């Protein structure tokens, strides 16, 4: 990026002649944001076109000036998108870069574009538009991910697998039930981004520097032109609010936690010790010296994304926590974190969607693991309460004794004989064997939201209807 002498002159003229000379190199470096806020170019140009059209409609500038501004901004947009735009650090930010180039193209009418607004409400509008677009992208990404998880759940609605607590075998569940747990998590993420989008969908444009403007502007018109629901009701709040960015980052952080948890399970499940799933070659890498290795690198990288996304969230909270109203230059530090977090969230969502779509679950291995580790012990305790009339605490103790006996014999609970069980408690009858198999266990969990296959299929149908 090269600064032309006229850029420094333009920068000084935009400051209204208050400064006789341009900032020195260090001040320019700390003050300029063009290296990152150039990403707001489309939103900046869209906001400026809406503002110019409103100014003309209100009789504040002429129709001919508004037309020249609108056409000139389209030229600027084209130059940026084709890589022909001369970005300049001396002009500090995307707003002044666009306006200076507009002046090069259309001349004197460009100076009327900034009537009735400030860079404060301009950047607040641009940034809000950009974050709103990212909410839309996250919503679309989450919908695709949920569909991939639903497909996995549907294919394995009745495939038994071990359910874990403390990463120890707890009770049998189904593959479909486990996948649907992530559908619920990502569904909450979906609702958070939708809620955040709804709250941020108010326009700051027209708040000017902090107090509004004396020009007879029409804020309802610019809000409508930019697809906002309404103008923001307080000009101080409009230029100083970054709740929309914080809420986006908070939602992104929670979503990244969910992605990380699923990634962790994929890393564990794809290991030689578990062999629950196989990752496709698209999402795995090999080792430079160990030819047998298939490393789940994509899952591991997604697992790590929470670090930078949560870091961005903490960074922006820290920037905003002590700022007096209204605008302070600290708020220039609001964008890089959001840009980075949004980029990596979208990358992680796309990668996880791809991994789930290509993932192969090992049904036989899942069932074998589900049958080990005394996973039906709770079913036995429940049967003792229901059928033998024991209090649950007594049933828990009897079941623990039977588990100890099975461990001593080197077998699982269903492999104990009826006489073995009756030696521990004579109230046990042959009917106990109807609950000890893993398929019987999952089929019995008929409570709403339980792991029974028909419950799982009902939840799959509900989510398909939600997404439709």
Q: Which of 443 and 283 is assigned the larger pLDDT?
A: 443
Mean pLDDT, rounded, of the chain:
91
Q: How confident is the model at residue 89 (pLDDT cuts 50, 70, 90)?
A: confident
* Catalytic option among 62, 191, 287, 429: 287
**Which residues partner with 202 through β-bridges?**
230
Q: What is the pLDDT of residue 462?
A: 97
Whether 166 is catalytic is yes
Q: What is the pLDDT of residue 35?
A: 81
Give the residue from 197, 189, 181 showing the smallest Cα distance to 449: 181
Q: What is the pLDDT of residue 26?
A: 77
Whether 357 is catalytic is no
Write the CB contacts of 160 (distance below 8 Å, at least 6 apart in sequence): 172, 173, 174, 175, 366, 367, 370, 371, 438, 439, 442
Q: What is the pLDDT of residue 36?
A: 83
Instruction: Kindly list the distances between the CA atom of residue 378 and the CA atoms of 131, 138, 388, 452, in Å, as whole numbers in the listed order.
Output: 48, 40, 15, 15
Query: For 34-83, how does the pLDDT look when each residue is reduced to its tens digit (9 = 90+)?
Result: 788 899 999 999 999 999 999 999 999 999 999 999 999 999 999 999 99
Write the CB contacts of 203 (distance below 8 Å, at least 6 apart in sequence): 125, 128, 219, 222, 223, 226, 228, 230, 231, 232
Listed in sequence order, the DSSP H helices in 167-242 are 175-200, 219-225, 235-240
* Catalytic option among 166, 288, 419, 447: 166
Query: For 123-156, how does the pLDDT look when each residue is reduced to its tens digit (9 = 90+)?
Result: 999 999 999 999 999 999 999 999 999 999 999 9
Q: Which of 387 and 190 is assigned the larger pLDDT?
A: 190
Q: Do the Cβ atoms of 171 and 230 come closer than 8 Å?
A: no
User: In terms of C-beta density within 10 A (0-12 exposed, 13-18 middle, 19 or more buried), how is residue 63 classed?
Assistant: exposed
Q: Do the Cβ atoms of 149 and 193 come closer than 8 Å?
A: no
């Amino acid at each position: 990026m090269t600064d032309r002498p006229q850029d420094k002159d333009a920068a000084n003229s935009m400051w209204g002649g208050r400064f006789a000379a341009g900032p020195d190199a260090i001040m320019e470096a700390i003050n300029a944001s063009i290296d990152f806020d150039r990403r707001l170019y489309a939103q900046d140009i869209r906001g400026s076109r809406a503002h110019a059209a409103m100014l003309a409609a209100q009789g504040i500038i002429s129709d001919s000036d508004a037309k020249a501004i609108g056409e000139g901004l389209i030229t600027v947009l084209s130059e940026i998108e084709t890589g022909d735009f001369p970005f300049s650090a001396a002009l500090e930010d995307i707003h002044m870069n666009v306006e200076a180039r507009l002046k090069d193209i259309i001349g004197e009418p460009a100076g009327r574009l900034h009537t009735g607004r400030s860079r404060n409400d301009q950047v607040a509008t641009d940034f809000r538009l950009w974050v709103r677009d990212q909410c839309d992208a996250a919503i679309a990404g989450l919908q695709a991910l949920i569909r991939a998880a639903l497909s996995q759940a549907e294919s394995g609605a009745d495939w038994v697998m071990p359910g874990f607590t403390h990463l120890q075998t707890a009770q049998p569940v189904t593959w479909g039930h486990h996948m649907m747990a992530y559908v619920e998590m990502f569904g909450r993420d979906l609702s958070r981004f939708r809620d955040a989008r709804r709250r941020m969908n108010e326009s700051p444009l027209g708040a000017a520097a902090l107090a509004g403007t004396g020009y007879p502007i029409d804020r309802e018109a610019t809000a409508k032109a930019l697809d906002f629901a309404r103008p923001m009701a307080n000009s101080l709040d409009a230029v100083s609010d970054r709740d929309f960015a914080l809420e986006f980052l908070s939602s992104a952080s929670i979503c990244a936690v969910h992605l990380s948890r699923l990634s962790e399970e994929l890393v564990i499940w794809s290991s030689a010790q578990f062999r629950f799933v196989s990752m496709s070659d698209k999402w795995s890498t090999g080792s430079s010296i160990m030819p047998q290795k298939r490393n789940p690198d994509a899952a591991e990288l997604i697992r790590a994304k929470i670090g930078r996304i949560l870091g961005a969230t903490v960074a922006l909270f820290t920037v905003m926590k002590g700022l007096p109203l209204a605008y302070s230059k600290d708020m220039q530090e609001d964008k890089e974190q959001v840009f980075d977090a949004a980029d990596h969230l979208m990358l992680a969502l796309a990668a996880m969607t791809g991994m789930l779509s290509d993932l192969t679950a090992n049904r036989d291995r899942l069932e074998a693991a589900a049958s080990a580790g005394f996973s039906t012990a709770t079913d036995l305790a429940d049967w003792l309460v229901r059928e033998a009339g024991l209090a649950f605490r007594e049933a828990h103790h009897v079941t623990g004794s039977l588990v100890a006996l099975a461990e001593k014999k080197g077998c699982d609970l269903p492999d104990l004989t009826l006489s073995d069980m009756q030696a521990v408690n004579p109230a046990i009858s042959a009917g106990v064997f109807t609950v000890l198999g893993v398929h019987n266990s999952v089929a019995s969990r008929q409570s709403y939201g339980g792991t029974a296959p028909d419950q799982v299929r009902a939840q799959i149908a509900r989510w398909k209807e939600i997404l439709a």
